[in-house]
Amino acid sequence: MKMAAGQSNEVEQVLPADLQAVMNDLDRTDQEVRRLVSDLSEAQLNWRPSPTAWSVAQCLAHLGQMNSVLTAALRPAVRQADKKSVIPREPIQPGWLARWFVSQMDAPPRRKMKTPRQGIPDAHKSGEEILKAFIAAHDELRSLIHEARDLDLNRIRFRNPFIGLLRYSVGTALLVIGAHDRRHLWQARQVCVAMKS
């Protein structure tokens, strides 16, 4: 059975519950992004509440860019993992520092964070471009999740492509992606509210 881009293929493989929860988050996020892009005109997508604030298009483009870069950093870590040392698989269980980091990324934002150079969005993008890049980034992540489904993602570490000195687990990175998606979708919704007032 062929699935549409941006949808989990549950027929292909049954995933452990923690990874299925990540996939469900990706699916929900994709649906919300599709809805946002289809409900707004190009002008509305690119409208900014102030000269320093991002538009809905910029929020979504940022997510696509960041997710793509992060997934590209995760893939070699998963592929190079010593398969024997990361089995048996354990559910994703971040430590206290990782849990704090995930919470700082989640919505609503608790504090403003500096955007890494790789995640600075263009000033203007079409809805079609944004949606295509966003879904493609999530589809790459879905592929990686299926590839890593039998591994203990708590034990595989990778170098953060945005903060070179920071290393954390692949499992934590999956949770960070979901939290970061929620953060900027919240931001995009606030832009929509501002647009109507």
The pLDDT tens digits for 137-155 are 999 999 999 999 999 999 9
The span from the first CA to the last CA of the chain, in angstroms, equals: 45
Strands 157-159 and 167-169: antiparallel
Identify whether the C-beta of residue 160 lies closer than 8 Å to the C-beta of residue 167. yes
Residue spans per domain, the chain:
17-196
Identify whether the C-beta of residue 9 lies closer than 8 Å to the C-beta of residue 23. no
Give the model's confidence band at 73: pLDDT under 50 very low, under 70 low, under 90 confident, else very high: very high
Give the model's confidence band at 1: pLDDT under 50 very low, under 70 low, under 90 confident, else very high: very low
CATH topology of domain 17-196: Four Helix Bundle (Hemerythrin (Met), subunit A) (1.20.120)
The answer to whether the pTM exceeds 0.85 is yes
